[in-house]
Amino acid sequence: MISKTDMKLAFTLQFDGIARSDAVEDFARSRVEYLERHFADLTSCRVTLSRESRHGQTGGEFFSARLAMTLPGRELIVSHAHEHDACIALRDAFDAINRRLEDSQQIRRGRVKHHATLTHRDGGE
């Protein structure tokens, strides 16, 4: 398990069934630092990168990335899997959590589009 202490955001990265990689660690840390700069209310981030097997299914193993971001009063959790590449699973999970954080921020700021109500037209007159 890797911890980064010079960020304000509590960050942990765990490799489960996968050899530790400096490149993956640097990528995850850079994405967490980006999120910390853009979403000031984040308090912690836990990242787990794991290798899993598909019991009874063809295709063997796949890689899974799970991100848990803690904000005051709630936690956002995203998981993504990829059949061949742990880095792609991790990238996709960070992209998904970024979208969820952006959506959440827009809602809090009241910048959400309100769709017009559809009205029913009678075509018989």
Query: How does pLDDT run across 71-110, given as a tens digit for each residue?
Result: 888 899 999 999 888 899 999 999 999 999 998 888 777 7
For the entire predicted model, the pTM comes to: 0.76
The confidence score (pLDDT) of residue 4 equals: 45
- CATH architecture of the region 2-109: 2-Layer Sandwich (3.30)
Least confident range from 39-48, 60-69, 85-94, 110-119: namely 110-119
The confidence score (pLDDT) of residue 1 equals: 47
Query: pLDDT: is 122 or 93 the higher one?
Result: 93
What is the C-alpha to C-alpha distance for residues 70 and 73, in angstroms, rounded to an integer?
Answer: 8
What is the C-alpha to C-alpha distance for residues 112 and 103, in angstroms, rounded to an integer?
Answer: 9
In 3D, which of 30, 44, 36, 43 has the Cα closest to residue 90?
Answer: 30
What is the C-alpha to C-alpha distance for residues 115 and 125, in angstroms, rounded to an integer?
Answer: 28
Least confident range from 8-22, 25-39, 89-103, 105-119: namely 105-119
Note the residue count of the chain: 125
The confidence score (pLDDT) of residue 119 equals: 59
The confidence score (pLDDT) of residue 2 equals: 45
| Strand 44-53 to 2-4 pairing | unpaired
The confidence score (pLDDT) of residue 105 equals: 81
Residue 40: pLDDT over 70: yes
What is the C-alpha to C-alpha distance for residues 117 and 125, in angstroms, rounded to an integer?
Answer: 22
